[in-house]
Amino acid sequence: MRLAFAISLPAFVLCGTVLAADPSFAAPPSFDCAKADTSATQLVCKDDQLAALDREVTRLFTLARDGAHLAADQRKQLLAVQRGWIKGRDDCWKAGDLRACVVESYVTRIHQLRQGYADARSQDKAGISKGPFAAKCEGLDALLTLAFVDIKPAAAYVGWLDQAVVVNQVPAASGARYQGENYAGKFEFWQHGKEMTFTMPGGKPMICAPEETG
């Protein structure tokens, strides 16, 4: 099944500002912190931004699980994948940077839920994520798949072919500039004015434009 992507990027990406109300960053995560028994969940309970990510994943998961478009076998698969994702998040204690691993885990799961389940995208005004969006970059033989999460700093998922990187917003003279890295090296996604660029490790900035697919 092919998915429909919006033709334009969300406003908070275009202007590089944070739109979420401050109270959304002062609430606990979706789980009971008194029962947090892993390094990852304990960190989430101490970090407002991670708690916001946790609530967003739970919101999207619940919309997908309870949505009218999900067959019984698909719901069963969704539950199994969610359990596997929780285990993977909790395994972030093995990573060199626990917090970065947890952020990456949450942002990636947000993208997966938004891309895979239409019902997860049905109440966006209640959440802090947007996407998926698509962009075509000169010199890249694949569309970028993008999802944006409105935390502080803002985070984005950038995927292409079988690769992906989670990037975080960094200061910029103009526009919204995101940087991050994976096993291949450092990446940058930058939207300034009507232009977007994507830079891969060791490469030059590639000019990108929004793309609509159906």
- List all residues 6 or more positions away from 180 whose beta carbon is below 8 Å from its beta carbon: 165, 166, 167, 168, 186, 187
* Residue 211 banded pLDDT, cuts 50, 70, 90: confident
Residue 108's contacts (CB-CB under 8 Å, 6 or more residues apart) are 157, 164, 166
Look over the chain and give the mean of its residue pLDDT values, rounded to a whole number: 89
| pTM of the entire predicted model | 0.89
Q: Tell me how crowded residue 90 is: count the other CB atoms within 10 A of its CB.
A: 16
Taking only the tens place, the pLDDT of each residue in 84-119 is: 999 999 999 999 999 999 999 999 999 999 999 999
What pLDDT does 23 receive? Answer: 42
Domains of the chain: 22-126 (no CATH), 129-210 (2.40.128.200)
If you count them, how many residues does the chain have? 214
Mean pLDDT to the nearest integer, 47-60:
98
